[in-house]
Every structure is written in structure tokens, then in C-alpha cells.
Amino acid sequence: MRRRRLRAALTATALALASLATLPAAAAPQVLAARRPVAAPDWSVALVDSTTARFTPSTIGGWSYPVGLYLYGQYLTYRRTHDARYLTYIKNYVDRFVASDGSISQSFNSLDSMQAGRLLVILHRETGQDRYRKAAKKIRDRLNTYPRTGDGGFWHADTSSRAHQLWADGVYMVNPFLVEYGKEFGDGTYANDEAAKQLDLYGTHLQVGNGLLRHAYDESKTVSWADPQTGLAPEHWCRAVGWYSMAAVNVLDAIPADHPRRTRLIGILRRLAAGLEKYQDPATGRWFQVIDKGGRGDNWTETSCSSMFTYALSRGAQQGYLDAHYANVARRGYEGVLAKISLGADGRTNLTDISVGTNVGDYAYYIGRTRATNDFHGLGAFLIMNEQLRNQPAR
């Protein structure tokens, strides 16, 4: 307890000093130029410095999963660099939504709205302030009444348009938060069991013979995109599968070695990894927007999912969930993603070919999605990937 109080006091001091030392946005490009080695850029630092120069904690956006994903990646960069400005920025963002008494003005009626809850757990761990525990508990308590399919899977959202539906995206929106919440607040038995159950159920419904997952499943089999026999969506949209792949390794990292669902989850991940290796673009090392249809001329390689797959395959091989050769598959993916980041004339990073947010649809719908630059889906996934692979030697 004394150690935790000391850690919280030191963190508070660092945050206060960082707040005093924060530079104006106009100065950020010069800071970038001074800090970045010319021969071997630290792309995580460059990307975070660029993004925090473009947006303040007040202008980066509302409470949302894309911003939450990006800021989680920024936190990983903070953990390595110990640059307190990065943690101050995250705290200032979260404090827009969390009052001093721990109240938070979110209803948590969708899985998407829960993803940024990871930041609440992080800030409790870093500062010891109880308001973050109280805010995080609102998400945990919401799960007690959150709607489920007949076999217990969380609906994508508590709305009529998402009723009875499991989207592969959803497992990342809630389950990494859940296992981290359980560890931080002594609720691990429920959290680990629930997270493993959700991954198992989603994988069972969504994974097909080629190892890949379909984007979504409708238990009622009535929504327009659902196959009337299987309830499955028609395509393998890459980022939906990317969310699942990252959630799988996060949960496997957290649950006990003797957890009863562990073997099943590793089996799902191994089948998925084989599918990803099969459909990796040999020319670029990246993956296509519709994963299994790379031979079509209008398909294109997408940066956020390529980052997600690269991370998951690398971490899976490192942890022994996957065969060691997947580290080489991940290395090809990493090199492919690095080809999509560069410095602009202003000295700031640009990350290209990121699909904007996407509903469930058909091939033409996915292919027609905007290919954005510096979309938060891609920035966050890039940081998670880069912090995993940046110091791993090439094989």
C-alpha cells in the first residue's frame, strides 16, 4: 500500500511538472525535428508528437473508441519513453468526462462506448485517484444488465438496429477493458471468465472454414445483410477481424494458464493465423480491405488492420500461442505498414490508407469506404503494433 501511494505521488508530481512544461502546438514541429534521429526514426514518438500538436485534449474529439484506441497507443509510448507530457494529455482528455466524484456522463448502451474505459483503469493505476475506479465501475455494472444473445453473447449495441447481433469489432471494445479492470480492482474471476466466454462465443459464431471471421452474425437472421440460414454477414472485413485478433492475444495474456476456455481460444487464434498467412499480400506484406479477395482490381490494402494483424501475430508467436514462424509473417506485415508512414512538409507524420468507420455491408460497400490519412483507427493500431515490434530483430 505504501509503495502504491508513493507511486501515485510521484506520478502526480510528474504530471504537474509536465503540465507546466507543455509546449504550444506551434512549437511542436521544431521539437519533433530535434528529437527524431534522422537515420532511424522513432515512429511512435514522431506520431504522438504530431498528433498532440494537431489536437489538444479538448479538440481531439468526444468520448469514443477511435480516440480511446489512439490514446491507449499513446500510453504504450509513454510507458517506454516516460515522457510525462503524454500521460498528462491522456488525463486532461479523460477529465473532460469524469467529474471529481467519479461520475461520468455516458450511458454505455453500446460496446463501442466502453473501449475508452481502458483509460480509466490506466489512470487509476497511474494516479491512485478513486474517481477513475468509480467511473470504470459504471461500465462493469452496465454489463450486468446489458442485452445478450440466447447463448450469452453481448449485443453490439442496445438498440433495435443492432439487436441480436454480434460484430467481431465488439470483442475488442469490451474484453481488454474487462480483464484489465478485473486485475486492477480485484474482480478477476468474473472478468476473466466473461472475457473468455465472449471471445469463445464470437469466434464460434463468426469463424468459417478458411480460418477468417465474418464481420458479423445476426441471431435472428432477419437483418438485411444476414444469410437466412447462417445469420452471417457476407464478407471478411479486415478491421473487424483485426479487432478480434488483438482482443484474443490481450485476453490470453490475462487469463490463468489453466482457464477452461484457454485451449479453445488458442485453437481459434491458430486457425485465424493460418488464414491471415494465406491471404497476406505477397507484394506488400499488408492485408486487403476484404481479406480473401485481394485478386480483385478494386480491392486495396488497408493500414489499420494490417497493423492489428501484425501486432497479434507477433505477440502470439512471442507468447507461444502461435508457431514461431508467425514472427516472420508479422515482420513482413510490419515492413508493409512502415511503407505507409512518412513525414510531411510540416515535419509531422502522415499515415495513409486507413478505412474510416464502417457498418456491415457487401463487397462494394467496403471497397468504397474512404481511404483516410491520420484516422485514429490507424494511428492507434500503428502505435500498438510499433511498440510491439520496433525493437524485435529481423529474422
**Contact predicate 292/236, CB 8 Å:** yes
Q: What pLDDT was estimated at residue 391?
A: 81
The grid coordinates of residue 124 equal 487509476
Residue 73 CA to residue 381 CA, distance in Å, equals 7
pLDDT of residue 8: 59
Give the three-class secondary structure for 129: coil
Residues 363-370, mean pLDDT to the nearest whole number? 98
Note the pLDDT of residue 23.
42
pLDDT value at residue 34: 46
Average pLDDT, the chain: 93
Model pLDDT, residue 223 = 98
Mean pLDDT of all residues in 152-171: 98
Q: What is the mean pLDDT of residues 223-248?
A: 98
Band (pLDDT 50/70/90 cuts) for residue 1 is low
Q: Is the pLDDT of residue 269 over 90?
A: yes
Q: What is the pLDDT of residues 35-49, one digit of tens each?
A: 544 456 999 999 999
Query: Mean pLDDT, to the nearest integer, of 236-265?
Result: 98
Q: Which of 49, 83, 112, 169 is catalytic?
A: 169
Q: Which amino acid is at 288?
A: F
Q: Which amino acid is at 331?
A: R
**Chain mean position to CA 291:** 19
Q: Is 151 considered catalytic here?
A: no
Predicted pLDDT of residue 119:
98
pLDDT at residue 11 above 70?
A: no
Residue ranges of E strands in the chain = 165-167, 216-218, 287-288, 301-302, 341-343, 349-351, 354-355, 371-372
Say yes or no to pLDDT of 161 above 90.
yes
